[in-house]
């Protein structure tokens, strides 16, 4: 596990690490088969697949079971989206490490539209690091998510300074990456990447900057959040509507071949 964590950490050192997020074993296997060097989970996709809402709708047990299924299905490193840590961040870290994750994504939002104070969140990150060390995985890669732009916290002109203050506190607390979700302004991303030593994670989305443009702005890690899962569910909705209304199946023409998918397990 520590060797896999070290390998995952090294993927942030050169070039751009692209992580199309998975939500179950099959999506993880297909993403790895497409060439992904690591698998990141999406809490939203995992929650929806289990009949839960995103935003701490999962239980820790449901999350860790999903991570275990994904980690056992692929050979590449797996990093788990643990949202804010649920009711006990330390216990959640212990659980996902036991499930096979060598990285985690931890939010600084409380789930009610507000954020933890930077010092308080820094202490939570220290707790996560301590839990990883106690679990025998000191090299766990912690991606500290900053929700200032996503939630529109504070006046727009003060958000960059807020992010930089949080970035410094989170880095000192042991974070390995900084994820400024909800920000697509390439100039602001460049300013953050130049001011912060941590590798910068950004979200890819339709109509947003390309991975090449993000890399040129200093971004080192790109993820897709719940968007791949949303696209898969969109196919389910369109295919069902077509079959029910028209009686045809054109939406299903580009599905993964049954034998191919079945042979992956």
Full-model pTM: 0.94
d(Cα 220, Cα 233) in Å, to the nearest integer? 29
Domain ranges (residues) in the chain: 2-226
Q: DSSP label at 146?
A: E
How confident is the model over 108-115, as a mean pLDDT? 91
134-182: pLDDT as tens digits = 999 999 999 999 999 999 999 999 999 999 999 999 999 999 999 999 9
Summarised one tens digit per residue, pLDDT across range 229-260 is 999 999 999 999 999 999 999 999 999 999 99
d(CA 37, CA 11): 8
Q: What is the pLDDT of residue 254?
A: 92
Phi first, then psi, for residue 104 (nearest 5°) are -140, 155
Please compute the mean of the pLDDT values over residues 27-44 and round it to a whole number: 98
Residue 75: CB atoms within 10 A of its CB come to 9
Residue 111 is predicted with a pLDDT of: 83
Pairing of strands 200-203, 219-223: parallel
Backbone angles phi, psi at 26, to 5 degrees: -65, -45
Mean pLDDT across 8-31: 96
- Give 144's strand partners: 106, 178
123 pLDDT above the threshold of 90? yes
pLDDT of residue 14: 84
The residue ranges of DSSP E strands in 188-237, in sequence order, are 200-203, 219-223
Q: What dotted CATH number matches 2-226? A: 3.20.20.60
- Say if residues 99 and 68 touch (Cβ distance below 8 Å): yes
Q: Considering the chain, what is the average pLDDT of its residues?
A: 96
């Amino acid at each position: 596990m520590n060797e896999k964590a070290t390998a995952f950490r090294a993927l942030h050192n050169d070039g751009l690490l692209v992580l199309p997020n998975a939500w179950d074993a099959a999506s993880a296997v297909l993403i790895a088969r497409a060439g992904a060097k690591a698998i990141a989970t999406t809490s939203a996709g995992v929650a929806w697949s289990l009949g839960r809402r995103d935003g701490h709708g999962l239980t820790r047990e449901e999350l860790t079971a999903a991570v275990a299924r994904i980690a056992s299905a692929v050979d590449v490193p797996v990093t788990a989206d643990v949202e804010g840590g649920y009711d006990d961040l330390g216990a959640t870290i212990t659980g996902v490490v036991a499930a096979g994750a060598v990285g985690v994504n931890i939010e600084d939002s409380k789930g009610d539209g507000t954020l933890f104070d930077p010092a308080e969140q820094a202490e939570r990150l220290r707790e996560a690091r301590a839990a990883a060390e106690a679990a025998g995985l000191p090299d766990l890669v912690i991606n500290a998510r900053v929700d200032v732009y996503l939630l529109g916290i504070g006046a727009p002109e003060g958000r960059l300074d807020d992010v930089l203050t949080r970035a410094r506190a989170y880095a000192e607390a042991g974070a390995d990456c900084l994820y400024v979700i909800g920000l697509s302004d390439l100039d602001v991303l460049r300013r953050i990447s130049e001011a912060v030593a941590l590798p910068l994670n950004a979200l890819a989305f339709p109509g947003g900057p390309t991975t090449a443009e993000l890399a040129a702005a200093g971004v080192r890690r790109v993820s897709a959040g719940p968007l791949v899962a949303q696209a898969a569910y969109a196919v389910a909705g369109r295919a069902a509507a077509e079959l029910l209304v028209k009686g045809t199946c054109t939406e299903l023409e580009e599905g993964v071949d049954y034998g191919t998918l079945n042979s992956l397990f």
